Amino acid sequence: MKLNIPTKITVARIVAVAILIVFLIVCSIISSVDPGNAFTSMTLGNSGIYVVNLIACVVFILASATDYLDGHLARKWNQVTTLGKFLDPIADKMLVNTILVYLCLPIGGVYVPWFCVALMIVRDLIVDTMRFLAASKGKVVAANIFGKMKTVFQMVAIPFVLLGGWPFTYFDGGWSIYLRICTILIYIATAMSIISGVIYLKDNAHILKEDKKDEPNA
């Protein structure tokens, strides 16, 4: 199958995320085995930003940019394909959820509340299931404004968290980790995620009801 350019960009994003996952796992293992490892403990000058996290941040920002680029080009060039529509959300979920899980781990000098990550991932699983059920019936589950806002806040918050809260740390560095600006951005993303998930369930509850009606009588 010959892929068009927008789909190639999406595939490249998936490959980049896969490489990033391997990179972070290897660095995590090295950090746990050798906490003082020269590379995993290296920081960028006196900023407190770990080089490993800086690399992850750069990859995340570039991958996030391609998320906009592939969709824009597909629409502009009239190259929207079923494969592209299938791969794009997979690439997005891989990118965001992988980094969120990494940020839950007690490594790299950064932190995201585990319950926020759990809520956002569970929400994604529920919404994706709803979309799958709707697609099996030839229907489309439309995105809502809160879902889009959730994505925006995730894309904004994650780089700041990866950078250890920089540059906000110049004035909130002494605050509780739960009250720092980058953490508050994660809270907002979590709230948008929950609200959009509830709306998805409310607006598409009929899909589940139809499933029950379609079941044969015993």
- Reported as a single tens digit per residue, the pLDDT across 22-48 is 998 888 888 888 878 888 888 887 777
pLDDT at 81: 78
Q: Which residue has the tokens 């995105």?
A: 143
As a whole number, the mean pLDDT across the chain is 82
pLDDT at 218: 43
Average pLDDT, integer, range 122-148: 78
Question: Is residue 90's pLDDT more than 70?
Answer: yes
Query: pLDDT for 148-165, tens place per residue?
Result: 888 888 888 999 988 888
CA neighbours closer than 13 Å in the CB half-sphere of residue 141: 25
CA neighbours closer than 13 Å in the CB half-sphere of residue 45: 4
Assign 65 a pLDDT band (cuts: 50, 70, 90). confident
CA neighbours closer than 13 Å in the CB half-sphere of residue 31: 19
Q: Cα(184)–Cα(182) distance, rounded to whole angstroms?
A: 5
Q: What is the DSSP string of 147-171?
A: HHHHHHHHHHHHHHHHTTTTTTHHH
Q: Is the Cβ–Cβ distance between 121 and 94 less than 8 Å?
A: no
Assign 184 a pLDDT band (cuts: 50, 70, 90). very high
Please list, residue by residue across 171-199, b when 16 or more beta carbons sit within 10 angstroms of its beta carbon and e when fewer do: ebeeeeeeebebbebbebbbbbbbbbbee
Q: What is the DSSP string of 97-166?
A: HHHHHHHHSS-TT----HHHHHHHHHHHHHHHHHHHHHHHTT------HHHHHHHHHHHHHHHHHHTTTT
Q: Cα(171)–Cα(168) distance, rounded to whole angstroms?
A: 6
Stated pTM of the model? 0.80
